[in-house]
């Protein structure tokens, strides 16, 4: 049996055994993955470590096969006429997609509780949320149904679930990876990125999906470095910045302790750690939620029951085609964001809200430009607290939005950021560490993460469900 067939068979068996208890998968591609593995019988290409490897793809990334639902009723039967650039690249590299993963509807949320399908459970403890919106991808990797997955990150949706599920996740620089075929939530913030069990795998997957694509006009034509071969290079003089704004009162004591001890580990690896200032951090959440809702209200206008998606049955008139199709198709959080965004963009309020948010965005970006004059990477907790329980925050959208506090700035500034495991709470829940870097300096973040993982084993600990 070829390695590819064996890999796919074992991934499908694990999905069969574990997914009913985790519910990470929105669709399982058993037949398609098996037959693709059979056609991949050529000898393994040593230059492509993804050859014959099972990968799971978030269900807001278009695939030619199967459906692309965005976990929304409005797209429950949507079959994309084209595949995303990242999907084409995965397949060219010999990867085998074994299924699509669950998410908060249209990637709007932090827990997968907003999924129109069902919530995904945290593999470490089913009472806890897996994070979101790429909760399905993070849970699939955490429970080792797959070792590689793709997510999307508009304001933390790769890093936050990676940290809640004890896996690694990277949001690349804006423009590093093509967004062609990613169903848009907030186009100026969205990026596709990898989730995996360790930094080496992140480097492999990023190397495959990164690169220029003329079908996304915001995608940069900058050479893609060989991320994998750079992982073990000596780091030379490494300056790590720590910002007091990212260690505020809301940080859980066990999170603080784990991140502080990671700083000590990095010092032993030769890092110089100094304080940097990010003074506009207090405006990040307001700025992010104005910009992302404004862009979402415009992007989601296309789902109207005419051009795309669910159409209401027997409407009275054409007005009802739109209003009822959208009322029936979208969930509460998506509606909330469309309303907020429409308001922020309405004439009379545009300058007061949307334009002001754009200016604040520039100030936030300038904070990072200045900080990176003093350091090569900025370290913080990925999230103020470890995973919380289902229902704990879903009653209050504002409380939920505030949990994104350490994640959204990287999207507003367009810089790369990753999350890796750095400890566990006394209840056994994972804790994540975030590293933010200079534009297009993913290689440095991956190098730090990899060298940290050579001397620690937080990323090796698996949830009991894996036993
Ligand atoms: N949790 C954030 C939100 O709800 C981030 C979402 C994302 O990155 N897609 O908007």
Q: Which two tokens stand for residue 115?
A: 């999924």
What gap in Å lies between CA 19 and CA 145, rounded to an integer? 8
Closest atom of ligand 1 to CA, residue 292: 10
Q: Which two tokens stand for residue 367?
A: 């904070």
Residue 39 in any domain: the answer is yes
> CB of 340 closer than 6 A to ligand 1?
no
Phi then psi for residue 61, to 5 deg, are: -110, 125
Residue 343 in any domain: the answer is yes
Closest atom of ligand 1 to CA, residue 132: 1
101, 192 contact by CB (below 8 A): no
Q: What is the pLDDT of residues 129-186, one digit of tens each?
A: 999 999 999 999 999 999 999 999 999 999 999 999 999 999 999 999 999 999 999 9
> CB of 110 closer than 6 A to ligand 1?
yes
Instruction: Give the chain's domain count.
Output: 2
Residue 459: CATH number of its domain: 3.90.1300.10
Does residue 388 sit in the same domain as residue 442?
Answer: yes
Does residue 254 sit in the same domain as residue 284?
Answer: no
What gap in Å lies between CA 143 and CA 242, rounded to an integer? 32
Q: What is the pLDDT of residues 60-102, one digit of tens each?
A: 999 999 999 999 999 999 999 999 999 999 999 999 999 999 9
What gap in Å lies between CA 233 and CA 245, rounded to an integer? 31
Does residue 300 sit in the same domain as residue 436?
Answer: no
Does residue 101 sit in the same domain as residue 250?
Answer: yes
Does residue 201 sit in the same domain as residue 234?
Answer: yes
Q: Residue 393, preceding bond cis, omega within 30 degrees?
A: no
> CB of 184 closer than 6 A to ligand 1?
no
What gap in Å lies between CA 242 and CA 352, rounded to an integer? 33
Last-in-domain residue among 365, 389, 406? 365
Does residue 187 sit in the same domain as residue 55?
Answer: yes
Q: In this model, does residue 436 exceed pLDDT 80? A: yes
Residue 271 in any domain: the answer is no
Strand order across the 168-171 sheet: 25-28, 96-101, 54-58, 148-153, 191-196, 168-171, 417-424, 430-437, 377-381, 239-243, 272-276
Last-in-domain residue among 365, 395, 419? 365
Q: Which two tokens stand for residue 436?
A: 């933010």
Q: Which residue range forms the structural domain that includes residue 25?
A: 3-266+379-466
Closest atom of ligand 1 to CA, residue 411: 8
Does residue 316 sit in the same domain as residue 252?
Answer: no
* CA-wise closest residue to 326 among 70, 77, 119, 72: 72
Residue 30 in any domain: the answer is yes
Q: In this model, does residue 45 exceed pLDDT 60? A: no
Does residue 206 sit in the same domain as residue 253?
Answer: yes
Residue 284 in any domain: the answer is yes
Does residue 237 sit in the same domain as residue 320?
Answer: no
Does residue 356 sit in the same domain as residue 211?
Answer: no
pLDDT at 329: 96
Residue 371 in any domain: the answer is no
pLDDT at 46: 54
Cα dihedral across residues 434, 190, 221, 204: positive or negative: positive
Ligand 1 midpoint to CA 286 (Å):
13
Does residue 139 sit in the same domain as residue 95?
Answer: yes
> CB of 129 closer than 6 A to ligand 1?
no
**pTM higher than the cut 0.95:** yes
Q: What is the pLDDT of residues 339-348, one digit of tens each?
A: 999 999 998 8
What average pLDDT does the segment 332-344 reach? 97
DSSP codes of every residue in 349-368: TTIIIIIHHHHHHHHHHHHH
Does residue 427 sit in the same domain as residue 305?
Answer: no
Last-in-domain residue among 365, 389, 404? 365
What gap in Å lies between CA 375 and CA 272, rounded to an integer? 9
Residue 272 in any domain: the answer is no
416, 193 contact by CB (below 8 A): no
């Amino acid at each position: 049996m070829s390695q590819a067939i064996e890999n796919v068979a074992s991934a499908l068996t694990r999905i069969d055994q574990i997914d009913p208890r985790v519910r990470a998968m929105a669709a399982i591609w058993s037949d398609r993955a098996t037959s693709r593995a059979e056609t991949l019988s050529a000898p393994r290409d040593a230059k492509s470590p993804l050859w014959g490897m099972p990968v799971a793809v978030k269900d807001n990334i278009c695939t030619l096969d199967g459906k692309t639902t965005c976990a929304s009723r409005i797209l429950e039967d949507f079959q994309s006429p084209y595949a995303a650039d990242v999907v084409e690249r995965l397949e060219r590299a010999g990867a085998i997609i074994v299924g699509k993963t669950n998410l908060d509807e249209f990637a709007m949320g932090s827990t997968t509780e907003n999924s129109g399908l069902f919530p995904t459970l945290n593999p470490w403890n089913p009472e806890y949320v897996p994070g979101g919106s790429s909760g399905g991808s993070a849970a699939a990797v955490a429970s080792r149904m797959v070792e590689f997955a793709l997510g999307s990150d508009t304001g933390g949706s790769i890093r936050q679930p990676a940290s809640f599920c004890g896996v690694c996740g990277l949001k690349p620089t804006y423009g590093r990876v093509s967004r062609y075929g990613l169903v848009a939530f907030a186009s100026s913030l969205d990026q596709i990125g990898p989730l995996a069990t360790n930094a080496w795998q992140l480097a492999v997957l990023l190397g495959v999906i990164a690169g220029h694509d003329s079908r996304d006009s915001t995608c940069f034509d900058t050479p893609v470095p060989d991320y994998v071969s750079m992982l073990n290079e000596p780091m030379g003089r490494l300056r790590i910045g720590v910002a007091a704004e990212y260690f505020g009162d809301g940080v859980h004591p066990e999170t603080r302790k784990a991140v502080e001890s990671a700083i000590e580990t990095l010092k032993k690896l030769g890092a110089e750690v100094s304080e940097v200032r990010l003074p506009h951090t207090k405006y990040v959440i307001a700025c992010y939620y104005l910009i992302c809702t404004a862009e979402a209200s415009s992007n989601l206008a296309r789902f109207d029951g005419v051009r795309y998606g669910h159409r209401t049955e027997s409407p009275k008139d054409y007005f009802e085609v739109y209003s009822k199709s959208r009322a029936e198709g979208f969930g509460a959080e998506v509606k909330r964001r469309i309303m907020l965004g429409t308001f922020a963009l309405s004439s009379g309020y545009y300058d007061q809200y949307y334009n002001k948010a754009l200016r604040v965005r520039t100030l936030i970006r300038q904070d990072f430009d200045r900080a990176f004059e003093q350091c090569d990477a900025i370290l913080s907790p990925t999230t103020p607290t470890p995973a919380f329980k289902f229902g704990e925050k879903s009653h209050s959208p504002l409380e939920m939005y505030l949990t994104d506090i350490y994640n959204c700035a990287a999207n507003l500034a367009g810089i790369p950021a990753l999350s890796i495991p750095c400890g566990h709470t006394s209840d056994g829940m994972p804790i994540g560490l975030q590293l933010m870097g200079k534009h297009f300096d993913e290689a440095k973040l991956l190098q730090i993460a990899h060298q940290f993982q050579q001397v620690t084993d937080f990323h090796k600990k698996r949830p009991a469900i894996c036993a």
